């Protein structure tokens, strides 16, 4: 049994149905979403590996690393928004 309304389901000319999506919802099968997920994985791995190393062994970071980590923080904020 299906719950909810079916008014968001559309039929095309071949008789196949598709669900009308909201423009604010990302398609989980899109190329953008795949690239976004790969970038998230890379940034999380970087944070998981370099964070403890930085705390234990690094006295000062270079300016490039500080800039990269600031961009990474902005990326994580956009990820939360999306």
- Are 72 and 43 in contact by the 8 Å Cβ rule? The answer is yes
Domain total in the chain: 1
Domain assignment of residue 40, yes or no: yes
Domain assignment of residue 38, yes or no: yes
d(CA 43, CA 49): 10
Domain assignment of residue 5, yes or no: no
pLDDT at 28: 81
Range of the domain at 62: 24-81
Domain assignment of residue 39, yes or no: yes
Ordered mean pLDDT values, 10 residues apiece, the chain (82 residues): 53 59 73 93 96 92 93 94 84
Domain assignment of residue 72, yes or no: yes
Domain assignment of residue 4, yes or no: no
Residue 75 sits at the vertex; the CA angle it makes with 62 and 20, to the nearest 5 degrees, is 165
Give the dihedral of Cα atoms 29, 8, 23, 72; nearest 10 deg. Answer: -50
pLDDT at 5: 52
């Amino acid at each position: 049994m299906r719950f909810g309304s079916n008014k968001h389901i559309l039929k095309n000319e071949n008789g196949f149905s598709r669900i009308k999506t909201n423009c604010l919802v990302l398609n989980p099968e899109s190329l953008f979403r795949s690239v976004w997920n790969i970038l998230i994985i890379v940034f999380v791995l970087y944070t998981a590996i370099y964070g403890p190393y930085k705390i234990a062994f690094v006295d000062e970071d270079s300016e490039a690393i500080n800039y990269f980590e600031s961009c990474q923080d902005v990326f994580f904020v956009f990820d939360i928004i999306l």
